[in-house]
Amino acid sequence: MEDVPSALRLAAPAKLNLSLRVVGRRADGFHELESVMVLLALADELVLAPGEGLRVDPPGSDLPSQPEKNLAWRGLVLGMGGATHGVSLSLTKRIPVAAGLGGGSSDAAAAWRLGRRRSGAADLLTPTEREQLAEIGADVPFFAAQAAAARVTGIGERVSPVDQPAGTASEVVLAIAPFPLRLMCNGSLDGP
């Protein structure tokens, strides 16, 4: 690992579903979706540096601080091929947790890219890696594709970048629900 900077830093942007349609249910209980997603400027920040373990800021952000339960750490493990000895991952949360903005999935994809870079591998996503990332979270392949806008199908693992027409950049106002919006393991919404 020569010529690797001591610390690598990446932003992990939030996403917004411009459209979302449930088109079916698979035998495993997951819902088949059709969606158009766009990246937002709102982003968490990840830093990979020499050290050991995971640090999440702000403390008490309701995220798992045990590495094996944290989506970002799981993305890092995949990106580094399982060998995470001697590295520390710091995650600064700015995306509200459980707000439907894909923060955990984006963190996993950014950590995967950091792991790839630390290992000297390219950020290119192979079909096998896309499937492995989808096992971490259905939105992770969208973030790993690094498309500003994309049509997403399946449970979220099939990503087709789309062009945004020139001059269509928009501003949005995000209203965050006063309760967490979490997907259950079977892909259904778990709300109040």
Catalytic residues: 15, 139
Q: At 33, which amino acid appears?
A: L
**Which residues are CB-contacts of 71 (< 8 A; sequence separation ≥ 6)?**
104, 105, 107, 108, 136, 137, 140
Within 10 angstroms of residue 3's Cβ, the number of other Cβ atoms is 5
Q: Which residue matches tokens 């020139």?
A: 166
3-state secondary structure of 139: coil
3-state secondary structure of 16: strand
Q: For the residues of 25-40, what is the DSSP string, one character each? A: E-TTSPEEEEEEEEEE
Within 10 angstroms of residue 138's Cβ, the number of other Cβ atoms is 21
